[in-house]
Amino acid sequence: MIEFVWPWIFLALPLPWLVAWLLPAQLYSGSRLRLPHPGLQALWQNDGATRRAIKPHWWALLIWALLCAAAARPQQIGEAVPPPRTGRNLMLVVDLSGSMGQADMRLGGRIVDRLTAVKAVVGDFLQRRVGDRVGLVVFGDRAYAITPLTFDRNAVREQLADTVVALAGRETAIGDAIAIATKRLRQQQESEQSGGERVIILLTDGVSNAGSLSPLRAAELAVKESIRIHTIAFGGDGGEGIFGIFRSQANASIDEAGLRTIAEQTGGAYFRARDTSELAGIYAQLDQIEPAALVGRMDRPRSERYRLPLAAAVLLMLIALLWPQRGLRR
């Protein structure tokens, strides 16, 4: 598609006719104009037949039209090109240990287990992460990378929705989960050969009691890779008893001190959520701490094409000068 940057220049197209038809009559009005040559004086006399005889040659009009087209800056518009992706590489690390099945959360007026509440809140969080590349790691006795880093946030949400409590075992291997998320972020950076913000968001409701790597040692690996870790301790103080009244649980312990140390060591933030609303508020705060990249508009490349009409006009001028027998030189 061709587009003219300065289309108003085409208003000058009638200028040769205005010069040939209007200007002579105005200049000669009242016989005040005296031209220095008798031949020119006769040529510019106020006579309609004479003015029709000196109308611009069609060859000159074509040259003038080409010059106007070149001056209007024609540009060829290419296909729309999406803006470059400049968002964060974000790994979500979610605990699937047995304690995540504890029903001590309210969601939509009903009591649900912790994992169900996490799925709802994290799904809403993913909806807002436009422009980010997101991956998912889940852990229990072992840690698994369920979804590689991808711009397809719907795929990550669907994979999280399909998880169940104790899918990776009933224990809690926080250190292994951090290590796998760190490895995936490092591999992504090496494959792209570029920098960029790399972040891990770790959510757990327990104490690390499984895995081959301690959480603090895994955090040291993240520090070496310049990866921030935000930690979220999630869980209420008990489960549902008779008539919907919560009762305390003896095993409702969370390693808050360890999670706080991991966050501080890596430059991240530590959060504590005891219910679904607090968890949603934490992910809203993470939106502020780690803002999603702004997605720009689709861009269309432009190529200047004024050289074509300009070259054609110059070529026609040369032909007019070199071909006098056709009357073009006049």
Instruction: Determine the Cα angle at 254 with ends 157 and 143, to 5°.
Output: 45
pLDDT at site 224: 93
Contacts of 320 (CB under 8 A, 6+ apart): 59, 60, 63, 328, 329
162-181: pLDDT as tens digits = 999 988 889 999 999 999 99
What's the rounded Cα separation, in Å, for the pair 102 and 252? 9
β-strand pairing of 110-112 with 105-107: antiparallel
236-266: pLDDT as tens digits = 765 444 344 444 443 458 889 999 999 999 9
Contacts of 118 (CB under 8 A, 6+ apart): 94, 100, 203, 234, 279
- The SS3 call for residue 105 is strand
Q: Which of 229, 298, 274, 239 is nearest to 91 (CA)?
A: 229
Q: Which of 1, 86, 84, 4 is nearest to 299 (CA)?
A: 84
**CATH code that applies to domain 89-289:** 3.40.50.410
CA 147, 152, 153, 159 dihedral sign is negative
**Which residues in the chain show pLDDT less than 70?**
20, 22-56, 80-87, 191-196, 237-252, 292-298, 324-330
What's the rounded Cα separation, in Å, for the pair 48 and 55? 11
pLDDT at site 302: 77
pLDDT at site 248: 41
CA 235, 288, 122, 259 dihedral sign is negative
What's the rounded Cα separation, in Å, for the pair 245 and 253? 20
The encoded tokens of residue 211 equal 């895995």
Backbone angles phi, psi at 309, to 5 degrees: -65, -30
- The SS3 call for residue 133 is strand
The encoded tokens of residue 246 equal 């919560």
CB neighbour class for 10 (10 Å; exposed up to 12, middle 13-18, buried from 19): middle
- The SS3 call for residue 74 is strand
Break the chain into its structural domains and give their ranges. 2-80+299-326, 89-289
pLDDT at site 239: 47
Model pTM score: 0.63
CA 201, 202, 205, 207 dihedral sign is negative
Q: In this structure, are residues 329 and 320 in contact, taking their beta carbons and an 8 Å threshold?
A: yes
52-70: pLDDT as tens digits = 444 557 778 888 888 999 8
CA distances from 163 to 68, 126, 136, 157 (A): 66, 16, 11, 10
